[in-house]
Structure 1
Amino acid sequence: MLTRKSPLIDIAQLIAFVGVLVWLILAGAQAMEYNWQWYRVDRYIYRIIDGEFIPGPLLRGLGVTIEITFYSMIITLVISLATALLRLSGSVSGRLVATVYLEAIRNTPLLIQLFLFYFVLAPIIGIDRFWAGVLCLAFFEGSFGAEIIRAGLQSVPRGQYEAADAIGLTRRDRLRFIILPQAIPLILPPMTGLVISLIKHSAILSVIAVAELTTQGLDLISETFMAFEIWFTVGAIYLVITVSLSLLVSWIEHRAAIGR
């Protein structure tokens, strides 16, 4: 017979793990004779001068990260839906194009794709590094979003397709009025999870000097030599955003389960 473990044991284990982690960090910093300067960190997040709120470099970088995520997610949704529909279409050429795109994107490193977008594609179509990064992230995440949408569309019972055909709906109206409304509750939670992945992957744009959160952190470290403080702060900012979105995903999944 299984006995339920006390939550106090889990709490104690968590406290012990955090304690050991903090001890290792402090011991490592002491061995390096590192001089902690936490009192300087707040000015790099924000300042209040004469009653006016002045965002610091990290807060400005966070704004760029959110902007990158917003534009990338919109393009990702378009790419994902188009690719999923091509995968499910009766066109051989359409399925071939979608398959080649998925295999090429999902089987090559994101960093290589970023360099191709920045050094090859961007000069050809005349876009700056910001939009080169946005497009690269959108195409990368779109390859995963396409499979999420395809699975959601295929989860709708076949009888719904047949019923739409029976009442004479066109393929577009069938998708718009019958299939998508039933698939969206299933697609939304993993697509929200894709936003979390997009936020984390946006850090790679630091290699092409897009002024997002990680880039601002690198610049501050080079100026202040406060490596530990800045990286812990940057990591905490990412953690707050991603954990908040994870809680949102859990809430959406709970609501979707209730609505079924």
Structure 2
Amino acid sequence: MKPKLLLLFLLVCSSLLFSQEYIFGKVATELGDKLPDAVIINMRTDEKIVSDRDGNFMIAAKNGDEIRVLKNTYERFVQKVSSENFLKPLNVTLSKAPYLIEEIELAFQATGNLKKDVKSLDPPKRVVALNSSLNSYMMTPLTEVAPKLSTPSAFAPRDLRSGQMTLIGINTESIVSTVSKLFGKNREQLTTANYAETQEFYRRIKNTVDLTFYTSQGWDEEEIDRFLIYADQTYSLAKKYRNNFNIIAISWDMKLAYKEYIKTRKVRS
């Protein structure tokens, strides 16, 4: 008889054990963000579990049990278990709990007397003292030499008066005659260049002067030769620079000639 009772007891326990059901679900915010570490409680069995990092949970329950979901700073969620909860996941959405702002007491109370009320609106004595000390500090003269804004000598404008001397008390006629004799001896008299000198001067320009500005205009070598002839005829380049090849002066005269040359090209076209 005893073995039969023991077998019956085991069958009942096993049926009770295997009849245990579980609810699966997920906890999230109103915006759909996952809520980890939310506490899920079965109020009948007092079983407590915590949702994982994705908000998922699983808890044992029966039909009619009360399930509560708690999370700090969120409203509590309560759900009565029904048969539908065993068929599909229980999606729990927690809303942010409202919080109270500390009450602010207004110390100032108007009396109706304008003179008294205006005085109460004055800044505190500490603020007045601080502003006074700051004003006195700002009015104190500097103890250190303030830096001065100056232009480096390398970038300073050219002093046109440098190297000059006063002519008071000096015979200006003798100075003028001396300077004219000095420059008259050393100044080279310009002569017209012949054909060979002119061609050599053109070749030297094309080999020495930077002509990228003209080539960027789409000019070929023939157009550049035409322009050199025009510039030479207009500004006497070969006459002035064939013996004293000054690249800066030549480039400047060529730019002046370019402005006039472009006008002639437009007229012709």
Common fold: TM-score over 0.5: no
Instruction: Name which structure has the greater RCO, CA cutoff 8 Å, separation 6+.
Output: 1
Name whichever structure is richer in helix by fraction. Answer: 1
TM-score (norm 1): 0.24
Higher Cα Rg: structure 1 or 2? 2
TM-score (norm 2): 0.24
Name whichever structure is richer in strand by fraction. Answer: 2
